[in-house]
Structure 1
Amino acid sequence: MLAALARVATRRPMTVIFAWLVLLVLGFGLGTGVFERLDDAVSSIPGSETEQAAERLDGLDPAGDSLTAVIVAPAVDDPALRSGVAAAVADLAAIPGVTQVPDPYTTPGLAAEDGEALLLPVGFDAALDDGAEEDAVATAADRIRELDGLADAEVQVSGDALLGDQIGERAQGDVARAEIISLPLVLLLLIVVFGGLRAAGLPLVVAVSGIAGAFLALFLFSLVTDVSVYAVQVTTMLGLGLAVDYALLLVVRYREERAAAGDGEDHLEAVRRTVVRAGRTVLFSGLTVAVSLAGLLVFPNPFLRSMGLAVAAVVAVDMLAAVTLLPALLARFGRRITPAPATTRSGREPGHLFARLARFSARRPLAVAVTVVAGLVVLAVPAAGTTIELGDARQLPTDTEARKLYDALAEHYPEGTGVRPVEVLAGPGTDPALLDRLPELPGVARAESRELPDGTLLVELTPTGSVDGPAATALVEQVRELRGAEPVEVTGNAAALVDFRAMLADRAPWAVATVLVSVFLLLFAFTGSLLIPLRTIATTLLSLGAALGVVTWVFQDGNLVWLIGAEEMGALSLTGPPLIIAISFGLAMDYELFILARMRETWLDTGDEREAVVAGLQRSGRVVSCAALLLAVVFAAFMTGGFSPILQIGLGLTLAVLIDASVVRMLLVPATMSLLGRRAWWSPAPLRRLHHRYGLHEEPRPAPPEKISLPG
């Protein structure tokens, strides 16, 4: 297959380039329409108690969307402001679809006790269709914002009806900012790596194509399912980074092939050999990343499933660009790219530093392995205490309107204002003694109840603390424990978090098993060894645990969080750990395959396991280090947006990449390979023959040594 792709790319390069140009236009034209279709819901679980109770409540007591405005002024009793607010309330009530606009001056609890703030909630008819509701919300928000500046008032408007749009707009701005920052830096680093603009520009072209493919893939997904607001940033950063990684690997290999062939050979043959030999590594690398994300499909949560599908689609686009677009670009413009030099400027072999690291680890394998493992375990310790929450507006950057509204509420109103209650649906016949106990449960700040049309009693328990903090989730668990066989259901944000945590605990073992078994099989197909996949999985889990531990230490515990412009959250966003674990695992496999490919080449050529370790790291170390640095730059650029879940994911992925590409791949891998010795490449004779006959190879090679003796 790779040979066929190489022939097409080298014989008709302009046709291939034109096809990708069409994709580029579609991606940045049609694909960017996904920003208008983003969904900010992440915790829903179809079939869960929370979802079923919410649907039942909506059927019994349908409620439309709402928005909330907070008006902050030196004195809200200023006659001019009172007159302006009264006129605004009258105008809002006249908007078709608006069902509720209380007077903030006469409704208890809407005017702050300090006399400096007013709350103005607006409710909308649940029967409105999407278009009419969107018009009504926009009209109401615009009318309220007209009060801004009146009597020195500052007005912030947000709420359920606007929050998704505000986050979507912010996501679009963050992506644009990250691209403006990262692309020039990536180009500069590539110029340093390759020493010239031509070779450096090719990975960037592939990367931009990967971004276009990411946008188009997400837009197509949005036509059939919800696409999370997080998906745009995560898939764009990953698509950009992996595209650079794969292109960097192929361009480096192309320069090596040119150097090995000499000046007399047509450069097109070097392109074909590059695709056939290194393209296999790219395909396996992409498969391992996709398989790592496939674990997310085990969860019934639509957000996790959609993220898994979206990232897998982006990885597929990057793989396809690397083995089709890049060879076409090399065929058309690669003649002027200089071959790899035989020596460095200091007269040494390329990669001599990585060869020294490999020899150092090989001479002291046990000491190096123990030291590195101990350090990674220490970094991973905080991960044992990781907790997750839905989070509140503190996750948003301080300059967003929803965050300003949250801060104004916190400054001018009592704690708990605006906190959504735990909703308890008690069906007819529920024991009155149980209902009497609900308001007295620990963690209840306020309790209200009302009867619904079918006789069901809705009890709203406002928790102390945040909407999904420890008090709120404990309250949900207490109600569910107390109800016994009574016809009682619990819903609300805190209940959604409890159900989400239960889902993770229930499905995580299956997700982990799916990923580990799949990766093990892929690595066996790649190497023909049974021990290398086990070693690879173990070392990768160490680097992943270390990255997650640092993220927990920073965001949950609040250590050094100010360095990245964030604040202590007391917990991680529920989107963070699953995505950090899945994506970090895939990226670590990415670099492992880069190194194993070169180790296996030397092993098949020489049968010398020590030389395979040294030569493999010498030939791949520079590519892995440069790729990790470039990927870290991309992730760091996406951390400039200030959105806490993206900051957590960005920091986690940056740390995972840097830790994995440095101490794990440069020290721990050669140390563990040296400890295993010839046993590293061992597999039972039937499996060895099976792999030699049916396994995927870069090119026909002799069979590996048949006898690998094991002690004992």
Structure 2
Amino acid sequence: MGRHRDTSTYLHRLGVQVAKHPVTVLVTWLVLAAFSLALALGTVTGHALFDDLSSGEITAPGQAQEARDLIVEAGGGDFATDTLIVEGSPATSPFVRQQVAAAVERIHETEGVARVVNPLVLREGVEDPRAGPLVQEQGDGRYGFVTVVEYEQDLEGEALQEAQRAVDVQLGEIVNGSQATDSRRGSVQMLLDEIIGQVSTDLAFGEGIALPITFVVMVLIFGGFLAAGIPLLGALASIAGALATLWGFAHVIDLDATVVNIVTVLGLGLCIDYGLLIVSRFREELALELDGDDPTGGSRHLVQQATGRTLDRAGRTVVFSAVTVAIAMSGLFFFPATFMRASGAAGVSVVVLCLAVATTLVPALCALWARRLVKGRTEQVQDDGAFARLAGRVQRAPWLVIVLVIAALGAMALPATRMAVTSSGTELLPVGSDQRTFFAELAEDYPQLAPPDVQVVTTADGSRVRAWAQDEASVLPHVDSVEVSEVGTTPDDETVLTVDLRTSDEPLGDDSRALAAHLRADGPPFEAHIGGQASGLTDFVDALVDRAPWAAATVILATFVLLFLMTGSLVVPIKALVMNVVSLGASLGVLVWVFQDGHLSGLLHFDSVGAVEVSIPVLVLAFAFGLSMDYEVFLLSRIVELHEQGRPTDEAVRLGLQRSGRIITSAALLMVIVFSGFVLAQILAVKQTGVALVVAIIIDATLVRMLLVPATMSVLGEWNWWAPRWMKRLHSRFGVTE
């Protein structure tokens, strides 16, 4: 009947125990998944995951943050505000002015409101010279005007919401009393709510499309609904767990809304990948245990041994893969932005969750439904097939394959050398969305209400600051207007002044960036900090450049050690890392070509902002590196297993590609389907992430794994397994071998 199996490994023993108690494992996971989902949706605590998400300007230590801190120290800073724009109002009518003034007075009396600004309450109304920044004359005696409500700085939580509800009623009275033909309302909080709401919609829409298509493809791959359903059930458990994990992180750190999409779908994709590998290997191992016998007559002992052997081999691959992906995620810990560290922490947690699902729930389901899984079909080990033939052709002309693939990847990577980055605000939302339209109208019609493009913050002598602003700052290139304001006094009795500089460009336009760069390099003749979005973006990019070598070195070293423990080779890990760098460069090049250059904007339904979101390259490198190494481990584990059994390198490569090629191709196809949900997203940053990851997966699973790996291993031959003697001794002691 079955063959003798080594039962000495922990994974083998775990597999046997899971197969002995599959119902207990299943029920445990069902309870955990249900509780996790209820927790994330707010059923348990009344506080849902999306209630605690944030979205805003990316910050890093530097001049812009110092400028912001100094303003806050002096009693200034970002107050919660609500802004109302009305259009087509007969604002000079005494009746209109009376109605609006009454509503403004009620807003002023609302508890929690610090200040309310409206031009109609001035002595001369909209014709008052002081009303200029708040008024737009529209002809025929009609005007547009703005009402700004500022809340007390320490107001937050339920008290702030109660004040906003009361104010909202009175803003409606202003609209009615002004007899306006149109009106819009907006605020930073409303913008945040719209972004988070769109993220939630994108997540539901993307997964709503991806999951059914994924299931259909898996049915075709496995040849049955039951086998296809096992990885999908594991993926659903991982999604529930991922949402609960994110719910926990959102309570202790600032979690950006877009991270939910990325991390949740990563968990979904990895669980499907690992489930696919475990189920396929289980069928193969059970076929070997049965040794041609009728599968319906197989004893529970054979099922347990097949499950143990599955985890001993495929489970080991999953462990190596999960650790590799977690290492890639941990590289995000080095970067200064809170949301990037949060992405790393959440990503590592989700990978651990996927590992737990793949090594417990999935094998339990395999053991529970073993007879139905193998009835009429088993995974037969074949030494000849499409992937083996492909490897054989590559091995006949390896140098030609290497040159052609490297040339193709280099051409794709070329646009990445001219990458420009930005940090979008309202541009994250699709054109036509309420808050994007509101802020675009506010910036165009009432530009003086918008934050300055560049801001100089200082505690220097006031007369000296004003003299510089009038004589020197006003004639700087790209400067359209200059305004000096006194913010307040710090606890050390220093008066904080701001010099607000406005250009004819947007806050992150070329003119604003050039002005910020000039002031940072050759600033005013007194101590000052340069603030504004352009300065903040510069700080963030500088921090990325400063931290990137440490992050890369840590990830590369840890990955190298892991691959060495797996292969016992010095050459294979180095080769794998080099190939990953080349393929990642290609994916970033495509990202620039599509989003910075605007190619395919019609097909993908986006408006190019002429740059890539500053956080996306780092996130893509971390996630794509992990996924690339995921497939590398899938392939290498089979090749190493065969080589340890005494097969020559070329034969091990051919058979390894044959036995893992279908798994890698299927896993990549499923991952592409899953991440394609990102491509359909309305949030620009999510769409950019989706395109980059889809391209990275396609490149890695085709050009790299199917062509470049067998070609380079064929050229190196037995040198693939070379390592110095001292490293061989280390591997013999600490490595993982057959």
- Relative to the length of structure 2, the TM-score reads 0.88
For structure 1, which segment, 399-408 or 196-205, has the greater mean C-alpha deviation from structure 2 after superposition? 399-408
Corresponding position: 1:566 with 2:601: no
How far does residue 114 in structure 1 lie from its aligned partner after superposition?
A: 4.3
- Corresponding residue number in structure 1 for 2:340: 304
Give the conservation status (yes or no) of the 8 Å contact 1:206–1:244.
Answer: yes
Corresponding position: 1:109 with 2:130: no
How far does residue 154 in structure 1 lie from its aligned partner after superposition?
A: 4.5
Aligned partner of 2:581 among 541, 545, 557: 541
- Rounded to whole Å, the distance in 2 between the matches of 1:402 and 1:686 is 63
How far does residue 18 in structure 1 lie from its aligned partner after superposition?
A: 2.0
Corresponding residue SS for 2:155: coil
Q: What are the superposed Cα offsets for residues 436-490 of structure 1, whole Å, 9 maximum, x if unpaired? A: 3223222223211123333332111123322223322322222222237732112
Aligned partner of 1:446 among 481, 484, 490: 481
Aligned partner of 2:454 among 406, 410, 422: 422
How far does residue 171 in structure 1 lie from its aligned partner after superposition?
A: 1.8
Corresponding residue SS for 1:224: coil
- Corresponding residue number in structure 2 for 1:210: 238
- Corresponding residue number in structure 1 for 2:35: 26
Query: Closer, same or farther in 2 for the Cα pair 1:303/1:609, shift >3 Å?
Result: same
How far does residue 175 in structure 1 lie from its aligned partner after superposition?
A: 1.4
Corresponding position: 1:320 with 2:376: no
- Rounded to whole Å, the distance in 2 between the matches of 1:326 and 1:188 is 19
Aligned partner of 1:337 among 367, 370, 373: 373
For structure 1, which segment, 149-158 or 194-203, has the greater mean C-alpha deviation from structure 2 after superposition? 149-158
How far does residue 84 in structure 1 lie from its aligned partner after superposition?
A: 7.0
- Corresponding residue number in structure 2 for 1:99: 114
Give the conservation status (yes or no) of the 8 Å contact 1:438–1:479.
Answer: no
> What one-letter code is carried by the residue in structure 2 that aligns with 1:134?
Q
Aligned partner of 1:192 among 206, 220, 238: 220
- Rounded to whole Å, the distance in 1 between the matches of 2:579 and 2:720 is 14
Corresponding residue SS for 1:62: coil
Corresponding position: 1:125 with 2:165: no
How far does residue 151 in structure 1 lie from its aligned partner after superposition?
A: 6.3
Aligned partner of 2:25 among 16, 27, 39: 16
- Corresponding residue number in structure 2 for 1:254: 282
- Rounded to whole Å, the distance in 2 between the matches of 1:685 and 1:385 is 44
Query: Closer, same or farther in 2 for the Cα pair 1:359/1:293, shift >3 Å?
Result: same
- Rounded to whole Å, the distance in 2 between the matches of 1:623 and 1:392 is 41
What are the equivalent positions in structure 2 for 1:307-386 lying under 5 Å apart?
307-338=343-374, 349=382, 352-386=385-419
Corresponding residue SS for 2:736: coil
- Rounded to whole Å, the distance in 2 between the matches of 1:483 and 1:38 is 37
Query: Closer, same or farther in 2 for the Cα pair 1:73/1:188, shift >3 Å?
Result: farther
> What one-letter code is carried by the residue in structure 2 that aligns with 1:36?
D
- Rounded to whole Å, the distance in 1 between the matches of 2:174 and 2:690 is 38
Give the conservation status (yes or no) of the 8 Å contact 1:351–1:621.
Answer: no
Aligned partner of 2:67 among 43, 50, 53: 53
> What one-letter code is carried by the residue in structure 1 that aligns with 2:34?
V
Corresponding residue SS for 2:455: strand
> What one-letter code is carried by the residue in structure 2 that aligns with 1:260?
L
- Rounded to whole Å, the distance in 2 between the matches of 1:427 and 1:65 is 22
Corresponding residue SS for 2:481: strand
Give the conservation status (yes or no) of the 8 Å contact 1:248–1:623.
Answer: yes
- Corresponding residue number in structure 1 for 2:3: none
Query: Closer, same or farther in 2 for the Cα pair 1:408/1:480, shift >3 Å?
Result: closer
Query: Closer, same or farther in 2 for the Cα pair 1:148/1:363, shift >3 Å?
Result: farther
Which blocks of at least 5 consecutive residues in structure 1 are unaligned?
Answer: 702-712
Query: Closer, same or farther in 2 for the Cα pair 1:154/1:414, shift >3 Å?
Result: closer
Query: Closer, same or farther in 2 for the Cα pair 1:596/1:156, shift >3 Å?
Result: farther
Corresponding position: 1:41 with 2:69: no
Query: Closer, same or farther in 2 for the Cα pair 1:668/1:438, shift >3 Å?
Result: same
Corresponding position: 1:273 with 2:309: yes
- Corresponding residue number in structure 2 for 1:408: 441
Corresponding residue SS for 1:109: helix
What are the equivalent positions in structure 2 for 1:576-595 lying under 5 Å apart?
576-595=616-635
- Rounded to whole Å, the distance in 1 between the matches of 2:702 and 2:360 is 30
Aligned partner of 1:458 among 498, 514, 521: 498
- Rounded to whole Å, the distance in 2 between the matches of 1:379 and 1:88 is 60
- Corresponding residue number in structure 2 for 1:647: 687
CA RMSD of aligned residues (A): 2.6
- Relative to the length of structure 1, the TM-score reads 0.91
Query: Closer, same or farther in 2 for the Cα pair 1:41/1:580, shift >3 Å?
Result: same
Give the conservation status (yes or no) of the 8 Å contact 1:145–1:155.
Answer: no
How far does residue 117 in structure 1 lie from its aligned partner after superposition?
A: 4.8
Give the conservation status (yes or no) of the 8 Å contact 1:449–1:458.
Answer: yes
For structure 1, which segment, 554-563 or 393-402, has the greater mean C-alpha deviation from structure 2 after superposition? 393-402
- Rounded to whole Å, the distance in 1 between the matches of 2:614 and 2:713 is 37
- Rounded to whole Å, the distance in 1 between the matches of 2:517 and 2:409 is 35
Give the conservation status (yes or no) of the 8 Å contact 1:64–1:125.
Answer: no
Query: Closer, same or farther in 2 for the Cα pair 1:414/1:356, shift >3 Å?
Result: farther
Give the conservation status (yes or no) of the 8 Å contact 1:100–1:124.
Answer: yes
- Rounded to whole Å, the distance in 1 between the matches of 2:582 and 2:340 is 23
Give the conservation status (yes or no) of the 8 Å contact 1:42–1:228.
Answer: no
For structure 1, which segment, 154-163 or 371-380, has the greater mean C-alpha deviation from structure 2 after superposition? 154-163
Identity of aligned residues (%): 36
How far does residue 70 in structure 1 lie from its aligned partner after superposition?
A: 5.2
- Rounded to whole Å, the distance in 1 between the matches of 2:17 and 2:184 is 57
- Rounded to whole Å, the distance in 2 between the matches of 1:572 and 1:104 is 40
Give the conservation status (yes or no) of the 8 Å contact 1:141–1:157.
Answer: no
Corresponding residue SS for 1:112: strand
How far does residue 207 in structure 1 lie from its aligned partner after superposition?
A: 0.6
Corresponding residue SS for 2:184: strand
- Rounded to whole Å, the distance in 2 between the matches of 1:340 and 1:598 is 26
For structure 1, which segment, 567-576 or 143-152, has the greater mean C-alpha deviation from structure 2 after superposition? 143-152
Corresponding residue SS for 1:337: helix
> What one-letter code is carried by the residue in structure 2 that aligns with 1:12?
H
- Corresponding residue number in structure 2 for 1:244: 272
- Rounded to whole Å, the distance in 1 between the matches of 2:319 and 2:510 is 45
For structure 1, which segment, 522-531 or 20-29, has the greater mean C-alpha deviation from structure 2 after superposition? 20-29
- Corresponding residue number in structure 1 for 2:164: 137
- Corresponding residue number in structure 1 for 2:549: 509
Corresponding residue SS for 2:132: coil
Count of residue correspondences: 693
Q: What are the superposed Cα offsets for residues 209-239 of structure 1, whole Å, 9 maximum, x if unpaired? A: 1111111111111222111112111101111
For structure 1, which segment, 651-660 or 67-76, has the greater mean C-alpha deviation from structure 2 after superposition? 67-76
How far does residue 56 in structure 1 lie from its aligned partner after superposition?
A: 1.7
- Rounded to whole Å, the distance in 1 between the matches of 2:525 and 2:716 is 58
For structure 1, which segment, 245-254 or 147-156, has the greater mean C-alpha deviation from structure 2 after superposition? 147-156
> What one-letter code is carried by the residue in structure 1 that aligns with 2:460?
P
Could you say which structure has the larger radius of gyration? 2
How far does residue 186 in structure 1 lie from its aligned partner after superposition?
A: 0.9
Query: Closer, same or farther in 2 for the Cα pair 1:353/1:63, shift >3 Å?
Result: same
> What one-letter code is carried by the residue in structure 2 that aligns with 1:450?
S
Corresponding residue SS for 1:555: helix
Query: Closer, same or farther in 2 for the Cα pair 1:349/1:439, shift >3 Å?
Result: same
Give the conservation status (yes or no) of the 8 Å contact 2:80–2:153.
Answer: no
Corresponding position: 1:490 with 2:530: yes
- Rounded to whole Å, the distance in 1 between the matches of 2:225 and 2:119 is 63
Q: What are the superposed Cα offsets for residues 416-443 of structure 1, whole Å, 9 maximum, x if unpaired? A: 8735432212223485564432232222
- Corresponding residue number in structure 2 for 1:65: 79
- Corresponding residue number in structure 1 for 2:5: none
- Corresponding residue number in structure 2 for 1:707: none
- Rounded to whole Å, the distance in 1 between the matches of 2:235 and 2:564 is 30
> What one-letter code is carried by the residue in structure 1 that aligns with 2:407?
A
